[in-house]
Amino acid sequence: MIAFAGLLFGVVLGIVVHPTVPLWLEPYLPLAVVAAMDAVFGGLRATLDRIFDEKVFVVSFLSNTLVAALIVFFGDQLGVGGQLSTAIVVVLGIRIFSNVAAIRRHVFRA
């Protein structure tokens, strides 16, 4: 439960402290969130499969967010930022969906 407490704490921290994000970083935030969500659902799924690993989770979380932001950054430089964001959202969206479906199968046996 400590993990979910951490999530809640992070949200509250973000709302209360309200850190100012530099303007150039702003476009990459939403995609970083989506990528991080993908990693979190992957981790949850792995827990239910009894193969969770802390190191793998931390590395996948950080690399996911970084790579998503980097791809969008390079896309912006090349003038295809919008299309690449769409591609990332589609791919990660599918993965989140199938991971949640797997979690659902685990939890409800259906």
Render 30-71 in DSSP notation, one character per residue. Answer: HHHHHHHHHHHHHHHHHHHTT---HHHHHHHHHHHHHHHHHH
Which SS3 state, helix, strand or coil, does residue 1 take?
coil
Contact between 54 and another protein (CB under 8 A)? yes
- Minimum CB separation of residue 98 from another protein in Å reads 4
Q: Build a one-symbol-per-residue string for 77-106: x at contacts with another protein by CB under 8 A, - elsewhere.
A: --------------x--xx--xx--x----
Interacting residue ranges for another protein, rule: CB under 8 A: 1-15, 18-19, 21, 26, 29-30, 32-33, 36-37, 39-40, 42-47, 49-62, 65, 91, 94-95, 98-99, 102
